[in-house]
Chain A
Amino acid sequence: MDKDKNNKKDKDDAEEKNLPGRKDDDAAGKDIPERKDDSSIIDDVTSGDYKYGFVTDVDTEVIPVGLSEDVVRLISKKKNEPEWLLEFRLKAYRHWLTMTPPKWGHLDMPDIDFQAISYYAAPVKKDGPKDLDEIDPEVLKTFDRLGIPLQEQKMLSGMAVDAVMDSVSVKTTHREALAEKGIIFCSISEAVKDYPDLVKKYLGSVVSYKDNFYAALNSAVFSDGSFVYIPKGVRCPMELSTYFRINAAGTGQFERTLIVADDDSYVSYLEGCTAPMRDENQLHAAIVEIVVEERAEVKYSTVQNWYAGDAEGRGGVYNLVTKRGLCRGDYSKLSWTQVETGSAITWKYPSCVLAGRGSSGEFYSVAVTRNHQQADTGTKMIHLAPDTRSTIVSKGISAGHSENSYRGLVKVTPAAERARNHTQCDSLLLGSNCGAHTFPYVDVMNQSAVVEHEATTSKISEEQLFYCNQRGIPTEEAVGLIVNGYAKEVMNKLPMEFAVEAQRLLQITLEGSVG
């Protein structure tokens, strides 16, 4: 197949450049000699290349490294922010100083030097590009290479996009079409200027700046992000999407997404992320806040493909994210779907606070780790009201020397009569040097609640492989087939446009040469 060849070629290139290679092939073989065949196949299958690792050559304005009150003031000033927002940032910053980084994750993470990071980086032509001509063509090219339909002609694909490069929102598309329906979709800095009341009302209402170490940091230095407001009774006619890109070196990305779905509204929101390959680690500490009012529904999908580091575990993004939604209205619904394939370290727990009667939360996740990636991810379902329901489906796939952990909390408070939860988390191990772990916390304070948790861990069974082989499917293809089947339950929850991308991503990540 052509694709095979291309991938092969990419791989050769990568080896020349000493980028993600296949060195652990032999190492894995040596550990358990009798399984050499198997492990080399699996290694083949799990060593795809990262194709988003390029760096865009645009002029970037980066403020000096380090964090202090002055830096917080500088960020606020650069963004021409009102006084109240500066106050919010300063409060968060002062609180952050009193906190220490959390250590409970099943992660081997070196201490981050927060004074060695630049907290603001922006492509130079940043002052509110009014139309595409004003955007640096290099930036456009970047998003083109990423397959983001920024160009007007591509907008026919029917997705509204907000693209965030380094710290600044570069371009939001389809705004006019959305405005007709009364939907607000813009960068958060614009929202601060244009809709201060809404932002003031909701910012920090779901994730307080006191929430955790990284949330405090983000609240102090967040640079940009998206703001979405869906008015009462409006069904958003298209998928809204944000694309995040870290480009500049030595910077962190701290974006903030705020989604408000008013009564009886519906929105599906997508998020994608990539970063260049660099030997150093980059920090990404975002906050996503979602407010769901009565009978409204929000679907939030993420395909996370930050640079994961090379095969030896050098470089990669630290993805330390706080995502939380508040189902405030009765019978509201929030659904998180995530496909996690990137990042050297992932630490994120998209959560649902079910405060409205009959509200429901869903969490569907596929997390793939390989090489030396580490992921500690899961969800929290906090049942506060009667008749609340939540579903958790988590699928972990570990390969290489990676560590993949599910950590989730299901909490049923005394008021949550008849709360119902079902949790299923499965782990699949490819290779004998990786780890798959499950840490579910279940806390029930109401006798009428029914809470179930199940988890399984296994490798691809010999029988399944045998069955495929028998029918003429070579082992490599069979592994790809089985892994895709395993993740299908979650993939099905993704919006169509994303499902295709996610499936491709899973193939690239896991299948390598498998067509």
Chain B
Amino acid sequence: MTMPSLKQYTDLFRQERTAIDSNATEALNAGRDRAMEFLEAAGRLPEKSDEGYEKTSVEAMFAPDLGVNVNRVNFPVNVAESFRCDVPNITTLLAVVVNDRFVPSATLLKNLPEGVTVCSLRDADSALIGRWLGKAVERYDAAMAFNSLLLQDGVFIHVAKGVKMAKAIQIVDIFSGQTPLLAPRRVLLVAEEGAEVSVLKCDHTQTRDVVFGSTEVVEIIAGEGARVDWYDLEESSPATARWCQFRCRQEAGSSLNICAATLTNGTTRNEYLVDIKGDCCETILSGMATGSGSQHIDNSSYLVHRSDRSHSDQLFKYVLDDEATGAFEGLIEVAHGARFNEAYQSNRNLLASTGARMHTKPQLLIYNDDVKCSHGATIGQLDSAALFYMRSRGIPESEARKMLMQAFMVDVVEKIRLESLRDRLRHLLELRFSGNCGDAACATCRGRVAEK
């Protein structure tokens, strides 16, 4: 038996605990004992033999010898150089996370509207942190434990009661450096009663030939009547592994819209835990993945309706080419006593090559009779009749295929409520399906975000 890859991280933690603790704050350190206890008991990170991880071995994702930036080395990063994921015609409040270090830009701090806080988790109001950090959902699992164990920094966003933000907040996660690194990243977003906020998070890898791994936890608390939009765009490298867990809690009347796009990556495992606590909530959870080469994309959702009269809609679409593999596992639970809920889930996939693989497992757990639930999954190829129609009208096959693939993704793109981001994503998809992007990672899309 080889040593579980978890061991190198628990060993590191034991050796460096003092340093890690001193780099972080009490609130962040508070979670470490529980994390260690959980991981020691598990003995290893999840593997394919575990139910729910059938196609993604997290053990293998973190098997490379990744270091943790315990000495808080400041990796210089040229944002202009690495950050090509601009969205034209939009102004955002930009925050950058280099590896696992939050680097606030002067413009961000200057432009924050009243009632909005965006800062490092280390500088955040300790009362708020104490109340919310790690508390969004009850479930405690490997993703949460692994992240909590080595967490040293993170982003805290707080939107006060009734504050409706006009501009989106943009968080850019960048991997940079010459040594293989593990970056534990965390975002805690608290939208108080009636608040409205949109966040765009982009994951990039600057040094393409170096192995990186990230463990990300995004905690979202949507207070009563709050509205939170979260857009997640991954354009990393084939050598990047990402294990990202969303932990969302919705109070009564809140609306949550998460849309995650994996355009280029290495191995990605996204987990979405959504706990609908209050009545009359709206939840839209969508995602898309474009896989080529040996990309691997795994999305897994666990959405629980605990109260009455809520509506949830999940839509995940994959286009897989070459040897890419995709997995989707979605679960809707309607808890005992939760009445009049409507919950829908759909997963549609296109396989564009003989080597591509797709695994899907849409699940329903229903404990109440007063529900309307449905789920659907399809795996197929481009409609040959549609292809024929287009070719018979003079559109070359490659062009026709590209158009159909773009059209296939449209309903995910349309879940995005920022028009300029929709345009941007359409453009990225076009490039992606033209083969321009692929491993060359957005080299064609240069530019700067219009910062004010």
Contact assessment for A456 and B373 in the assembled complex, using a CB-CB cutoff below 8 Å: yes
Contact assessment for A451 and B380 in the assembled complex, using a CB-CB cutoff below 8 Å: yes
Contact assessment for B377 and A445 in the assembled complex, using a CB-CB cutoff below 8 Å: no
Partner of B361 from the list A429, A430, A442, A451 (CB cut-off 8 Å) is A442
Partner of B365 from the list A437, A442, A452, A456 (CB cut-off 8 Å) is A437
Given known A-B contacts A438-B363, A444-B358, A104 and B51 have beta carbons under 8 A apart: yes
Residues of A within 8 A of B366 (CB): 427, 429, 435-437, 457
Given known A-B contacts A440-B361, A440-B362, A435 and B367 have beta carbons under 8 A apart: yes
Is B70's CB within 8 Å of the partner chain A? no
Residues of B within 8 A of A432 (CB): 336-337, 339, 368-370
* In the complex, residue of chain B having the shortest beta-carbon distance to the beta carbon of A420: B380
Residues of B within 8 A of A106 (CB): 365
What CA separation (Å) do A443 and B54 show in the bound complex? 10
Residues of A within 8 A of B375 (CB): 438, 453-455
Residues of B within 8 A of A450 (CB): 378-381
What CA separation (Å) do A436 and B365 show in the bound complex? 6
What CA separation (Å) do A459 and B351 show in the bound complex? 36
Partner of B351 from the list A447, A454, A456 (CB cut-off 8 Å) is A447
Is B359's CB within 8 Å of the partner chain A? yes
Given known A-B contacts A434-B369, A459-B369, A452 and B376 have beta carbons under 8 A apart: yes
* In the complex, residue of chain B having the shortest beta-carbon distance to the beta carbon of A429: B369
Partner of B374 from the list A31, A412, A455 (CB cut-off 8 Å) is A455
* In the complex, residue of chain A having the shortest beta-carbon distance to the beta carbon of B334: A457
Contact assessment for A453 and B368 in the assembled complex, using a CB-CB cutoff below 8 Å: no
Distance between A32 CB and nearest chain B CB, rounded to angstroms? 8
Is A80's CB within 8 Å of the partner chain B? no
Is B352's CB within 8 Å of the partner chain A? yes
What CA separation (Å) do A434 and B370 show in the bound complex? 11
Mark B337-366 against chain A: 1 for CB-CB distance below 8 A, else 0. 101000000000101111011111111111
What CA separation (Å) do A439 and B331 show in the bound complex? 9
Chain B contact surface mostly: strand
* In the complex, residue of chain B having the shortest beta-carbon distance to the beta carbon of A449: B379
Is A458's CB within 8 Å of the partner chain B? yes
Distance between B207 CB and nearest chain A CB, rounded to angstroms? 34
What CA separation (Å) do A309 and B368 show in the bound complex? 23
Contact assessment for A451 and B374 in the assembled complex, using a CB-CB cutoff below 8 Å: no
Residues of A within 8 A of B380 (CB): 449-452
Contact assessment for A443 and B351 in the assembled complex, using a CB-CB cutoff below 8 Å: no
What CA separation (Å) do A427 and B336 show in the bound complex? 16
Interface residues of A in 404-446 (CB under 8 A from B): 412, 414, 427, 429-446
What CA separation (Å) do A31 and B381 show in the bound complex? 48
Is B372's CB within 8 Å of the partner chain A? yes
Partner of B377 from the list A440, A446, A448 (CB cut-off 8 Å) is A440
What CA separation (Å) do A442 and B368 show in the bound complex? 26
Contact assessment for B364 and A451 in the assembled complex, using a CB-CB cutoff below 8 Å: no
Is B129's CB within 8 Å of the partner chain A? no
Residues of B within 8 A of A431 (CB): 369
Residues of B within 8 A of A442 (CB): 358-361, 377, 379
Partner of A440 from the list B358, B363, B368, B373 (CB cut-off 8 Å) is B363
Distance between B303 CB and nearest chain A CB, rounded to angstroms? 14
Interface size, A (range) = 35 or more
Is B371's CB within 8 Å of the partner chain A? yes
Distance between A200 CB and nearest chain B CB, rounded to angstroms? 34
Contact assessment for B381 and A438 in the assembled complex, using a CB-CB cutoff below 8 Å: no
Given known A-B contacts A435-B367, A437-B366, A450-B380, A444 and B373 have beta carbons under 8 A apart: no
What CA separation (Å) do A441 and B378 show in the bound complex? 12
* In the complex, residue of chain B having the shortest beta-carbon distance to the beta carbon of A404: B366
Distance between B52 CB and nearest chain A CB, rounded to angstroms? 10
Residues of B within 8 A of A436 (CB): 364, 366
Contact assessment for A444 and B379 in the assembled complex, using a CB-CB cutoff below 8 Å: yes
Residues of A within 8 A of B379 (CB): 412, 442, 444, 449-451
Contact assessment for A444 and B371 in the assembled complex, using a CB-CB cutoff below 8 Å: no
* In the complex, residue of chain B having the shortest beta-carbon distance to the beta carbon of A460: B369
What CA separation (Å) do A441 and B356 show in the bound complex? 17
Contact assessment for B381 and A447 in the assembled complex, using a CB-CB cutoff below 8 Å: yes
* In the complex, residue of chain A having the shortest beta-carbon distance to the beta carbon of B351: A447
Interface residues of B in 20-76 (CB under 8 A from A): 51, 54
Partner of A458 from the list B356, B367, B373 (CB cut-off 8 Å) is B373
Contact assessment for A458 and B357 in the assembled complex, using a CB-CB cutoff below 8 Å: no
Contact assessment for A453 and B373 in the assembled complex, using a CB-CB cutoff below 8 Å: no
Residues of A within 8 A of B378 (CB): 450-453
Residues of B within 8 A of A430 (CB): 369
Residues of B within 8 A of A439 (CB): 361, 363
* In the complex, residue of chain A having the shortest beta-carbon distance to the beta carbon of B377: A453
What CA separation (Å) do A438 and B371 show in the bound complex? 14
Residues of A within 8 A of B351 (CB): 444, 446-447, 449
* In the complex, residue of chain A having the shortest beta-carbon distance to the beta carbon of B362: A440
What CA separation (Å) do A31 and B351 show in the bound complex? 48
* In the complex, residue of chain B having the shortest beta-carbon distance to the beta carbon of A103: B51
Contact assessment for A441 and B381 in the assembled complex, using a CB-CB cutoff below 8 Å: no
* In the complex, residue of chain B having the shortest beta-carbon distance to the beta carbon of A431: B369
Contact assessment for A444 and B359 in the assembled complex, using a CB-CB cutoff below 8 Å: yes
Residues of A within 8 A of B354 (CB): 414, 446-447
Partner of A454 from the list B352, B363, B376 (CB cut-off 8 Å) is B376
Distance between A415 CB and nearest chain B CB, rounded to angstroms? 11
Contact assessment for B363 and A437 in the assembled complex, using a CB-CB cutoff below 8 Å: yes
Residues of A within 8 A of B362 (CB): 438, 440, 453, 455
Contact assessment for A455 and B359 in the assembled complex, using a CB-CB cutoff below 8 Å: no
* In the complex, residue of chain B having the shortest beta-carbon distance to the beta carbon of A441: B361
Distance between B14 CB and nearest chain A CB, rounded to angstroms? 32
Distance between A452 CB and nearest chain B CB, rounded to angstroms? 5
Distance between B60 CB and nearest chain A CB, rounded to angstroms? 19
Contact assessment for B373 and A457 in the assembled complex, using a CB-CB cutoff below 8 Å: yes
* In the complex, residue of chain A having the shortest beta-carbon distance to the beta carbon of B350: A447
Contact assessment for B352 and A447 in the assembled complex, using a CB-CB cutoff below 8 Å: yes
Contact assessment for B372 and A452 in the assembled complex, using a CB-CB cutoff below 8 Å: no
Residues of A within 8 A of B381 (CB): 447-448, 450
What CA separation (Å) do A490 and B230 show in the bound complex? 44
Distance between B300 CB and nearest chain A CB, rounded to angstroms? 13
17 more A-B residue pairs beyond the given contacts A431-B369, A447-B356, A455-B375, with a C-beta to C-beta distance below 8 A: A412-B379, A429-B366, A432-B336, A434-B367, A440-B360, A441-B54, A442-B361, A445-B357, A447-B353, A448-B381, A450-B378, A452-B376, A452-B377, A453-B375, A454-B376, A455-B364, A457-B371
B residues adjacent to A (C-beta < 8 A):
51, 54, 336-337, 339, 349, 351-354, 356-381
5 closest cross-chain pairs (CB), A and B: A429-B369, A447-B351, A459-B369, A438-B364, A457-B373
List 15 A–B pairs whose Cβ atoms lie within 8 Å, in order of A's numbering: A438-B363, A440-B360, A442-B360, A443-B360, A444-B359, A444-B379, A446-B351, A451-B378, A452-B380, A453-B377, A455-B376, A456-B374, A457-B371, A457-B374, A459-B370
